[in-house]
Amino acid sequence: MTPEDRWLQQQLDNPRSKISIISGEGEGYGAENDFSGKRTIRSLRMAIKRETCGGDRWAYGYLVTTDGGKYRIGHNDIEQVE
């Protein structure tokens, strides 16, 4: 497990961290849904992949940590956003 994945798992283990899946089609805004699956990296990434519908849609995870940090979670990456 990479240090990035260890950090992500720690955030997922914290019940106060908010996790959403944002997905849509084409350009523009997507729909935001609370992530209600098992709070593991594998489960989150599988949910993101499932939302992409084989490439017809785009999707990513969105994590808000307890200290106010905001992160976009892709299939294999994590990036901090404003």
Interval 12-65: pLDDT, tens: 999 999 999 999 998 878 899 999 999 999 999 999 999 988 888 999 999 999
Measured CA to CA, the distance from residue 44 to residue 76 in angstroms comes to 11
Count the neighbouring beta carbons within 10 Å of the beta carbon of residue 36: 9
Residue 15 is encoded by which pair of tokens? 């019940």
- The pTM score is 0.86
Residues 41 and 19: beta-carbon distance below 8 Å: no
Measured CA to CA, the distance from residue 39 to residue 37 in angstroms comes to 6
Give the C-alpha distances (Å, rounded to integers) separating 51 from 6, 24, 38: 24, 9, 16
